[in-house]
Amino acid sequence: MFRRTLCLLPLLAASARAEGLPVAPKPVVLVEDPTLRLGDLFENAGAAAETAIGAAPAPGRRFMLDAMQLSAIARRHNLDWRPLSGEERSIVERPGRPFPREDVETLLREELVRLGMDAEAEMELPGFAAPSVPLASMPEAMIEAAHYDARTRRFAATVVIAADGMPSWRGRVAGRALNTVMVVVATRRLAVGDVVGPGDLREVRMRVERVRPGAAQRAEDVLGRQLRRPVGAELPFIAVDLTAPSVVRKNEMVVMLLDGPGLSMTAQGRAMETAALGERIPVMNLVSRSVVEAEAIGPGRVRVTTGSVPIQTAGRR
């Protein structure tokens, strides 16, 4: 018994010292509950620590209590504290996380589509910001009193967000629906002469007013085509800037193939223009120096009709 008493003495002494510690306001206060208590605000508040003194900030918000306000709270609750310099203050903050804007937009879109809005329209919501909710809460959102005008494509609705630890938030939103169209954009900057590959494009929806006339709207209209003009990343491909890939380039040495009944002859030539597969271009025969029209049939190869070039200018194969 005597030994147990000796063991308890240090604990009792520590408790006595703790009770004798001076009361002091906390410079920074983080609260998770909707109610602010005396012990949140003051160190060593003792038995009064659980006393409610008011509402905590909304989630994600903060407020400041200056020396005069802190002194008034201390007097009201018989705490032995007085400001020493008048510079004392406490910043009270309640952590929170923003309610996902996309969740609100999804609910709003479903309701507006039901009221007649195009399901592919883009919603313009100027000035809308969803509130913050407590960190550990499971919030829910609802749409009330939605209205959509099909003529002007304008809409309005009330957004309600409810979560444990906060009063229900209600906000009126208004905006308009913008028509969109599918376009094909480049995923990276492409230069003149580049052939568009599968990783160079993607289909996206864009506002109609932002799309240039002639913009490609299907990936198959762009894939494998060659650029006549450069295109920047995330910009639409324009149909007139696309052509079939070149198989023969200007001033390139080519094999001239002459096909005729019962014969096949070749000669060396120089392409006078760039050509895609199947296109016809002028080609100079390097032996006779004559220029004839030929069809590009493959990389570095052209076909000449029998009436376009004298047979004696071509060497036998």
Q: Mean of the pLDDT values across residues 129-135?
A: 92
Pair 249, 225: CB distance under 8 Å = no
Structure-model confidence comparison of residues 113 and 278, the more confident one: 113
pLDDT tens column, 161-180: 999 989 999 999 999 999 99
Residue labelled with tokens 């005069």 = 68
- Asked if CATH classification 3.90.1210.10 holds for the domain at 180-243, the reply, yes or no, is yes
Pairing of strands 122-124, 166-178: antiparallel
Looking at residue 313, its pLDDT comes to 41
Pairing of strands 253-260, 301-304: parallel
Compute the CA torsion angle 17, 19, 24, 30 (nearest 10 deg): 110
Q: Mean of the pLDDT values across residues 277-303?
A: 90
Q: What SS3 class is residue 107?
A: helix
| R_g over Cα of the chain | 39
The C-alpha atoms of residue 87 and residue 84 are separated, in whole angstroms, by: 8
Residue/partner pairs of 1-10 with CB below 8 Å, 24 or more apart: none
Looking at residue 20, its pLDDT comes to 66
Secondary structure element (H or E) that encloses residue 13, with its range:
helix 2-19
At residue 11, does pLDDT exceed 70? no
Q: Say if 180-243 and 247-316 have the same CATH topology.
A: no
At residue 311, does pLDDT exceed 50? no
The residue ranges of every structural domain in the chain are: 25-93, 101-178, 180-243, 247-316
The least confident of 86-90, 203-207, 237-241, 311-315 is: 311-315
The least confident of 11-25, 99-113, 142-156, 186-200 is: 11-25
Q: Residue 185 burial by CB count (10 A; 0-12/13-18/19+): exposed, middle or buried?
A: buried
Topology of domain 247-316, CATH: SH3 type barrels. (2.30.30)
* Backbone φ and ψ of 297, nearest 5°: -115, -5
At residue 309, does pLDDT exceed 50? no
CA–CA distance from 59 to each of 31, 62, 82, 92, 200 (Å)?
A: 9, 8, 30, 11, 44
Q: What SS3 class is residue 310?
A: coil
pLDDT tens column, 243-286: 888 889 899 999 999 877 767 788 899 999 988 888 899 999 99
Give just the sign of the alpha carbon dihedral 129, 135, 140, 145: negative
